[in-house]
Chains A and B, each alone.
Chain A
Amino acid sequence: MRETLLFVAFFIVILIVVYLYRVIQGPTVFDRVLGLNGISTKSIILLVLIGTIYERVDMFIDISTGYALLNLVGSLAVAKYLEHRGSA
């Protein structure tokens, strides 16, 4: 079971690399915002997986919830910025 979870974590990290390419290389700011959102959702799943591996899911659920909330706040801040500055 633990090996399966480790393999799942490994493949999620590989998925994050794909998103990271879009964040770093992305021609416009919107690509980067979407890439960052994808990275954050994968990070939430990865945190819960780490909690399951360490058998302390109750603590890791808190972190992933905080992640999700603050990712929303960050996305709102970026949206506000682009609204005021026009398209970048």
Chain B
Amino acid sequence: MIFPVEIFLLLLLVITAGAAILVKDLISAVLILGSYSFFLAIVWAWFGAVDVAFVESVVGAGLATVFFLLTLFVTAPKDTRIHPPSPPWTALIGLPLLGLLLLYAASDLPKFGDPASPASVHVSPVYLENSMEDTLTPNVVTSILMDYRAFDTLIETVVIFTAGIACALLLRRNRT
């Protein structure tokens, strides 16, 4: 059954993205970006990508808002350009063409949730069948992230930790 909830949500995404660019007050832009992340997380949840929705709601709606506000603490809260520069005409013509090209290419992709698509024929069954014996973890996603790709996840964590240290150093107050 086709029901236009996702069309509505995508329209809301476009409206919030445009409003966040156009608004002059930067703290309002931060709040509008927060609502953008909310809608994006709902869209992910609607398509069944629960973990992506969780990350989007935690990082996009929560942490990014706080970090933007921290940035506004130490900079100016207004967009001071009187006339924002208009986008170049090559972008105005080229980007819709690129979007049309991507839509044309997307019609070649396998249907959403198709059991005969290459991704669910080649790779997924191996993990689904062997992960219980290999790792003794009932959750397949957890076993892939924490066991098959343990080094990948570890180094990702190191990268995020480094970024966190850099942010803490940059945002440190001078207590002299």
Contacts and interface: CB of A to CB of B under 8 A. Distances in A.
B57 A10 contact: no
A74 B8 contact: no
B73 A84 contact: yes
B65 A74 contact: yes
B15 A40 contact: no
Q: Which of B15, B16, B65, B77 has the most CB of A within 10 A?
A: B65
Say whether chain A's binding surface is mostly helix, strand, loop, or mixed: helix
B73 to A, nearest CB: 7
Given A13-B9, A66-B57, A71-B61, A23 B32 contact: yes
Say whether chain B's binding surface is mostly helix, strand, loop, or mixed: helix
Given A67-B57, A67-B61, A77-B69, A13 B28 contact: no
Contacts of A20: 12, 15-16, 35
Contacts of B54: 62-63, 66
Interface residues of A, number: 44
B62 A81 contact: no
Interface string B17-41: 0010001010110011011001101
Contact of A46 (B16, B23, B42, B61): B42
A15 B10 CA distance: 15
A9 B3 CA distance: 10
Interface string A49-78: 011001010011011001101110110011
Given A23-B35, A39-B38, A81-B72, A54 B16 contact: no
18 contacts: A6-B3, A23-B32, A24-B23, A29-B27, A32-B28, A35-B31, A40-B61, A50-B45, A63-B54, A66-B54, A70-B63, A74-B65, A78-B27, A78-B31, A81-B73, A84-B73, A85-B77, A88-B27
